[in-house]
Amino acid sequence: MSFAKVFSPQAIARALERAEHAKAADVRAALDSGAPDAASFAALLSPQAASMLEEIAQAAHRATVARFGKTIALYAPLYLSNDCVCTCTYCGFSLGLDITRKTLRIDEVMREAQLLAGQGFRNLLLVSSEHPKLVPPSYVAQCVRETKRVAHYVALEIAAAEVPEYRQYVEAGCDGVVLYQETYDPEVYARHHQGGPKKRYAWRMDALERAAEAGVRHLGAGVLLGLADWRFDGLALIEHARYLQRHAWRSVVNVSLPRINPAAGDYTPAKPVSDAQFVQLICALRIALPMAGIVLSTRETAALRDRLVPLGITHMSAGSSTEPGGYAEPGTSGEQFHLEDVRSSVVVAHALRELGYDPVFKDWELMAASAQTQTAGV
């Protein structure tokens, strides 16, 4: 199986072109069908749908509560390294940028994990830049093995890998792999990924399938909003997630759609996404992917995050740091991007309760409550 082989950017563009002329009836047909095909999903991203946002938001809320209840899984990213051999225009870890570089020793990783465990987190996402020598698979596997001593669920957001490497991670206890395509537009992808292994667009696109083949049970797909047209990347993401649900059916699939935030290098998004467009996309994803968790990152402001919760969100990071060692010693190494929601996990959990939601720090409680998945993104 290979999504890269069947994915057609032209077909996505054609569906969006048709959706430019969608009528209210087309939007309602997409809402009523529950899990529409790609063409009808495009109607939910149309200008017509933008004028029906309140109606779409209510449908998304109903779909979320029916499937997931009022439960939000909280997790924390734990950055292992910011040493990177790749040149990605939008990232604060990009090769050549003048930041303090650091790859944590195992004892430093455990210090971070213990601090997060002390805050109640049992769901960790180990994040790393790409550096084959400083962050080899053996190191990643050891980090997974060690952090599983304090966390019940450990996922990875690291370089794309081959099946044997993913097997190594699974054997160490890895529960999930998060790997964003960033953008599905091949030309935009080539412009923004200028050096290093991440340049390989198709190879990256099939990485989650390789992870599933190796036995990874939770897969996290996603796009970085702001690089390309948000409708294009939204529709492509839904196609990819639906493909994974069909072909990697032993695994569960989550999606994430972070918006670009400032970082070292000062990248300005070429295609900024407004709050209203962001809301429309989240609602559309919920309607089109009723079984998938949707992850919301701390890149969004606290006020917006609170408003988005009822619309389809199932997973949130909280109290995050995007620098290696940033929980124990903040400010001693370069961060990947600036955070907007800097509330502690306690404050976020309190805000969720005020909204009538149950914040969940532990995997098994969430599984019992809603049978949902635990794959997440920063």
Which residues make up the interface to ligand SF4 (CB under 6 A)? 84, 86, 88, 91, 93-94, 129-130, 198
Integer Cα distance of 184 and 266 in angstroms: 23
Integer Cα distance of 352 and 343 in angstroms: 12
100-139 as b/e: b if 16+ CB within 10 A: ebbbbeeebbbbbbebbbebbbbbbbbbbbbbeebbebeb
The least CB distance from residue 193 to ligand SF4, in Å, is 7
Integer Cα distance of 115 and 99 in angstroms: 25
The least CB distance from residue 336 to ligand SF4, in Å, is 7
Integer Cα distance of 40 and 105 in angstroms: 49
Select 204 or 240, whichever has its Cβ closest to ligand SF4.
Answer: 204
The least CB distance from residue 84 to ligand SF4, in Å, is 3
Instruction: Read off the tokens for 16.
Output: 């969006």
The least CB distance from residue 198 to ligand SF4, in Å, is 5
The helix (H) or strand (E) run that includes residue 128 is strand 123-128
Select 64 or 129, whichever has its Cβ closest to ligand SF4.
Answer: 129
The least CB distance from residue 71 to ligand SF4, in Å, is 31
Give CA separation, 96 vs 32, 81, 90, 120, 321, in Å: 50, 15, 13, 37, 22
CB 348 within 8 A of CB 319: yes
SS3 (DSSP) at 218: strand
Integer Cα distance of 181 and 243 in angstroms: 14
Select 56 or 158, whichever has its Cβ closest to ligand SF4.
Answer: 158
Select 256 or 373, whichever has its Cβ closest to ligand SF4.
Answer: 256
Compute the residue count for the chain.
Answer: 378
The least CB distance from residue 128 to ligand SF4, in Å, is 8
Select 94 or 317, whichever has its Cβ closest to ligand SF4.
Answer: 94
CB 210 within 8 A of CB 166: yes
Query: Which of 251, 291, 223 has the alpha carbon at shortest distance from 155?
Result: 251
Give CA separation, 282 vs 16, 18, 167, 293, in Å: 17, 21, 32, 11
Select 129 or 297, whichever has its Cβ closest to ligand SF4.
Answer: 129
Select 70 or 199, whichever has its Cβ closest to ligand SF4.
Answer: 199
The least CB distance from residue 377 to ligand SF4, in Å, is 13
The least CB distance from residue 180 to ligand SF4, in Å, is 9
**Residue 348 DSSP class:** H
Select 35 or 85, whichever has its Cβ closest to ligand SF4.
Answer: 85
Four-CA torsion 305, 306, 311, 312, nearest 10 degrees: 60
The least CB distance from residue 202 to ligand SF4, in Å, is 17
Select 129 or 147, whichever has its Cβ closest to ligand SF4.
Answer: 129
**Crossing angle between the packed helical segments 137-147 and 106-118, to the nearest 10 degrees:** 30
Instruction: Read off the tokens for 52.
Output: 């029906």
Integer Cα distance of 197 and 55 in angstroms: 43
The least CB distance from residue 196 to ligand SF4, in Å, is 6
Select 93 or 230, whichever has its Cβ closest to ligand SF4.
Answer: 93
φ, ψ at 188 (rounded to 5°): -65, -40
